[in-house]
Chain A
Amino acid sequence: MAVSGFEGFEKRLELHFFGDDPTVMDQLDGHKKNKGLLGLRLLDFDSLQLVLRAVQCTVVSAVGNHYFDSYVLSESSLFVYPGKIIIKTCGTTQLLKSVRPLIHHARHLGLSLSSVRYTRGNFIFPESQPFPHTSFKEEVVYLEDSLPKGLRFRKASVMPSKTLTHSWHVFTASTDIDLGDVFTIEICMTELDKASAGKFFRRPADGKSGDSAGKDMTEATGIGSISPSALICDFAFDPCGYSMNGIDGDRYSTIHVTPEDGYSYASFETVASRGDDVARVLKKVAQVFRPATMSVSTTSASREVWGRVASALEPLGLKRRSCAVDEFPATGTVVYQTFSNRRK
């Protein structure tokens, strides 16, 4: 591609930690049960800013509840729980440069890394990516070098689809088997419907702050109804683009939109457990953005969720084009499915 636009596809990193000291462990466990406090949330804001500077992004807004802290970044999002960090960044950020400093800062809090999961889709403008994101191979080498030896269960895999523009890159490393009962859903959407994408452009000189323009977009697009009980922290960029983090008890959700024609992109991510109505959420997301192509990746201890994805999306005219399944040691099963509408 001759002209490069903004890279919507995010890189995503999830790091889990455990306490060396049993009292730290008690605090982390206590937190899960009700409101525990400490762990990684004690990272001081200056350290966090230094990590973000290495990645090349900044905080635009933030909120916390009894379970975790949520940050909307200039390029996507960050979530800090007592025992885990999820950081997702788009554009030409250097996400993997956060791994070493995060391990270092956590160590000062008495926490050691127990698992890592790195995922991303296919960049629209791969030639614009800086080191170490120049290729998946390069990323894996960089990650391997950054990780402690104890994370011995490792695997890197590129999961294909039938569309050349979509594939799913996964790297996992873990010290031990730790399969929780929640699963993560990561959705990447391209070629958004023009009318839907148009709602993420601001009027020139609208006189609003990014916060209030963001709030208006949340309302106008129907994003507010995806998870009605969540508290939403939203932000609209100038002249276009949107980010939001939803917080609902110990669960997060996050949406990022790059609406420009030619490389329009939107992502949605959340965590859920078995009893949750995932189908309703998927439908709402598809209706807000009306993408021509949509990929859905689920990471969980079981394979059970993937069928629900297709049965939610197919009635909306999104036909499943591919489904790839891969097992990751000590992490679980990743199911990667792609859908496209009849316009294609």
Chain B
Amino acid sequence: MAEQNQVVGCHTQESWLDHFQKGKDSKKLVVVDFTASWCGPCRFIAPILTDLAKKWTDVTFLKVDVDELKEVAEEWKIDAMPTLLFLKEGKVVDKIVGARKEELLAKVEKHAVVAAA
């Protein structure tokens, strides 16, 4: 699959709903990065997410720009960037607000392992 091993940007409402539904059906861990082009800390965390996507091929990594998909950001009540939502079967199982590298690595590992088990 072309989209594996990378962070997939959702640029339209349809594409977001499509990826969200796919994640829900797959029962795999989905990590959504809510980001903004003008947010410095988002640029700090982006390469770390890229590396994680390469390593954790069983986890889906999605990216949503809060200006591009305002409704989605509002629906998930995003007011600080980056916010990382950890979803399983469409439900939030964990959340990180801010570019917190160590916490991100630990939480991806924790939830990915549970999902695989």
Measured CB to CB, the residues of A under 8 A from B are 37-38, 41-45, 48, 59-66, 69-71, 80, 209-212, 231, 233, 247
C-alpha spacing A45/B100, complex, angstroms: 16
Instruction: Give me the 7 closest cross-chain CB pairs, A-B, nearest first.
Output: A62-B41, A63-B98, A209-B102, A211-B103, A64-B39, A37-B38, A69-B40
Q: Is A38 within 8 A of B100, CB to CB?
A: no
Q: Is the CB of B38 within 8 A of A42?
A: yes
**Cα–Cα distance between A80 and B44 once the two chains are bound (Å):** 14
Given A231-B80, A231-B97, A247-B80, verify A62-B40 contact (CB < 8 Å). Answer: yes
Given contacts A37-B37, A63-B97, A70-B41, 5 further A-B contacts (CB under 8 A): A42-B38, A61-B101, A63-B99, A66-B79, A211-B100
Say how far A290's CB is from chain B's closest CB, in angstroms.
29
Bound complex: CA of A37 vs CA of B42, how far in Å? Answer: 14
Report how far A48 CA is from B101 CA in the complex, Å: 18
Neighbouring A residues of B45 by C-beta, 8 Å? 62
Q: Which of B40, B97, B101, B103 has the most CB of A within 10 A?
A: B40
What is the 8 Å Cβ interface bit string for chain B, positions 17-52, against chain A (1 contact, 0 not)? 000000000000000000011111111110000000
Does B106 make an interface contact (CB < 8 A)? yes
Would you list 6 pairs from A and B whose C-beta atoms are within 8 A, ordered by A residue? A41-B38, A45-B44, A63-B98, A64-B41, A71-B41, A209-B105
Given contacts A45-B44, A212-B103, contact A69 B80 (CB under 8 A): no
Instruction: Convert B80-105 into 0s and 1s, putting 1 for each residue whose CB lies closer than 8 angstroms to a CB of A.
Output: 11100000000000000111111101
Q: Which of A43, A80, A210, A211 has the most CB of B within 10 A?
A: A211
Pick from A45, A209, A210: contact of B40, CB under 8 Å: A45
Q: Do residues A209 and B106 form an inter-chain contact, with CB atoms below 8 A? A: yes
- A41-B40, A69-B41, A231-B97 known; A64+B103 contact, CB < 8 A: no
